[in-house]
Chains A and B, each alone.
Chain A
């Protein structure tokens, strides 16, 4: 993976690395991807992918509003202003 491509990957991953970390992780990733390349040799077009190890029927729960009684402890894991969670600017 070229430096430019790795920098782009860091940007979309939203990961900041020090120069030392960057060099080490970039080297590691080269080795790991070489190791991963072996899966590409497996060719069996007829097999359907297994997104889960077992067959999941996949019934989504109803789109119903449920009240969470302990609102205070839920919000205690955030910074709030007048009951609203404070987040960064978009």
Chain B
């Protein structure tokens, strides 16, 4: 498949196309919890979903948090603005997610997301709804967001293509921040070519986001693949053996593969979480109970009492991260935790940049198959964080990466992740385009088929 977007645009749609699409999603949503809001489009564009932490003018944005219930943004995020400006897309809904992006399984929210391929299992997170919507709809693109793996993880578990750009390539203006130095807006789709279309439309400097850049994005399609042994060692044995079969197929397609050691990679999880929590605890301070969504009515309370009462609306993981982030930033431990993490990030960027000069990194996307929701609920926070080991390094270092299915096992997808050097965004997309010439993805649902 090359581009579902182009195929959709070339077809004549029945008059009631969007009515039927909407009705089908309304019917399925209570079962899967893919959308926080569904919208019946009034224009004939390609169905587009937007993660619920990205602002769309006039449509409630909650980031799946009770504290933002009722918040109606009076503006569009830049990414939304740029997409709508093309007049090729129609927004069909805001997608479910872990509260503020705090989670890898899509269950840290009011309505846990379910994997459409096996509804007892998690869809992955935090962009859970974006992945479910992509797995359900034949013609559709999702605007999603990743901080530490929130695009790759759900894309892998739901069997779709998930792309996270180099940090700064797509403006974050209008994103409800989790961690400013880590957040990246990206996309999910059913083909790499559709991802390329979205990147073409949305990339580039935005004066409203001082961290966005105009750096030239390149498309270097390397034939050398690198496997980091310390990462592969942490992958479930069954996934590992399937992954090596896939690597053999790639060798037959002309790729060379090199294994390397990178001891510091093990520090990427703690370094990532320390930075992310420190930044999250400051970002969440804006939710004070008198603006943005949830509001308290008792103005006789003093600021601290008022603020603390409003923050009771946060879920458990959000509370845990605010507490930890506040601790990490305190003067007595800042050097031990926060400053050290920034140094580790720099060390990893330098080392990975050298490796990626003439190669892509390749690994499975997730070290485990999607767990049952009950199993994910019983994991400790540390066990939970450890499942991000393969997605955190590129996110911590701002490297472009893409997840895509390479095989199936008992009806569930096995996905791999390709990581490129900073600004080689088109390179990783082109790798997957090439793969798609040799492999057909399987989809259980094709809602909206024409």
A residues in contact (CB < 8 Å) with B: 9-10, 12-17, 21, 24-25, 28-29, 31-33, 35-36, 38-40, 42, 44, 47-54, 56, 58-61, 68, 70, 73-74, 76-79, 85-90
| Selected contact of B342 from candidates A49, A60, A87, CB within 8 Å | A49
Task: Evaluate contact between A15 and B322: CB separation under 8 angstroms.
Answer: yes
Instruction: Report Cα–Cα, A40/B336, bound state, in Å.
Output: 6
By beta carbon, the residue of chain A nearest B394 is A53
Chain A residue numbers with a CB within 8 Å of B289 are: 88
| With A39-B337, A77-B72, A78-B290 as contacts: A44 and B343 at CB distance below 8 Å | yes
| Selected contact of A40 from candidates B319, B340, B345, B422, CB within 8 Å | B340
| With A12-B326, A52-B167, A70-B74 as contacts: A85 and B290 at CB distance below 8 Å | yes
List B200-225 residues whose CB lies under 8 Å from chain A.
Answer: 207, 210-211, 213, 215
Chain A residue numbers with a CB within 8 Å of B297 are: 79
By beta carbon, the residue of chain B nearest A86 is B299
Task: Evaluate contact between A31 and B290: CB separation under 8 angstroms.
Answer: no
Task: Evaluate contact between A50 and B320: CB separation under 8 angstroms.
Answer: no
Chain A residue numbers with a CB within 8 Å of B271 are: 39
User: Is B118 on the interface with A (CB-CB < 8 A)?
Assistant: no
9 A-B pairs besides A48-B346, A77-B71 with CB distance below 8 A are A15-B319, A52-B181, A53-B398, A54-B215, A76-B74, A77-B74, A85-B291, A87-B303, A88-B303
Chain A residue numbers with a CB within 8 Å of B397 are: 53
Instruction: Report Cα–Cα, A76/B57, bound state, in Å.
Output: 13
Shortest 9 CB-CB contacts between residues of A and residues of B: A53-B398, A49-B342, A88-B306, A73-B74, A50-B346, A13-B326, A14-B308, A50-B345, A53-B167
Q: What number of A-B contacts does a CB cutoff of 8 Å give?
A: 174
User: Is B261 on the interface with A (CB-CB < 8 A)?
Assistant: no
Task: Evaluate contact between A51 and B181: CB separation under 8 angstroms.
Answer: yes
Instruction: Report Cα–Cα, A73/B55, bound state, in Å.
Output: 14
Chain A residue numbers with a CB within 8 Å of B339 are: 49
Task: Evaluate contact between A14 and B168: CB separation under 8 angstroms.
Answer: no
| Selected contact of B270 from candidates A36, A56, A90, CB within 8 Å | A36
Task: Evaluate contact between A61 and B210: CB separation under 8 angstroms.
Answer: yes
**Secondary structure class of chain A's binding surface, majority of residues:** loop
Instruction: Report Cα–Cα, A64/B422, bound state, in Å.
Output: 33
Which stretch in B40-48, B248-256, B309-317 binds the other chain? B309-317
B residues in contact (CB < 8 Å) with A: 58, 70-72, 74-75, 166-168, 181-182, 207, 210-211, 213, 215, 264, 266-267, 270-271, 273-274, 281, 288-293, 295-297, 299-309, 311-312, 314, 316, 319-320, 322-324, 326-327, 336-337, 339-347, 349-350, 380-382, 385, 396-399, 422
By beta carbon, the residue of chain A nearest B184 is A53
| With A9-B323, A10-B323, A16-B312 as contacts: A54 and B398 at CB distance below 8 Å | yes
By beta carbon, the residue of chain A nearest B335 is A40
User: Within the complex, what minimum Cβ distance (angstroms) separates B333 from chain A?
Assistant: 9
The contact sample of 15 A-B pairs, CB cut-off 8 A, is A14-B307, A16-B308, A21-B319, A24-B316, A32-B381, A38-B267, A39-B270, A42-B340, A47-B346, A47-B347, A50-B345, A53-B345, A56-B210, A88-B290, A88-B301
User: Within the complex, what minimum Cβ distance (angstroms) separates B384 from chain A?
Assistant: 10
| With A42-B267, A53-B397 as contacts: A15 and B311 at CB distance below 8 Å | yes
User: Within the complex, what minimum Cβ distance (angstroms) separates A34 from chain B?
Assistant: 8
| With A13-B323, A48-B346 as contacts: A54 and B166 at CB distance below 8 Å | yes
Instruction: Report Cα–Cα, A17/B350, bound state, in Å.
Output: 42
| Selected contact of A87 from candidates B207, B274, B290, B292, CB within 8 Å | B290
Task: Evaluate contact between A42 and B343: CB separation under 8 angstroms.
Answer: yes
| With A28-B320, A73-B74 as contacts: A89 and B302 at CB distance below 8 Å | yes
| Selected contact of B210 from candidates A39, A58, A70, CB within 8 Å | A58
User: Within the complex, what minimum Cβ distance (angstroms) separates B57 from chain A?
Assistant: 8
Instruction: Report Cα–Cα, A25/B297, bound state, in Å.
Output: 29
Instruction: Report Cα–Cα, A40/B347, bound state, in Å.
Output: 14
Task: Evaluate contact between A39 and B74: CB separation under 8 angstroms.
Answer: no
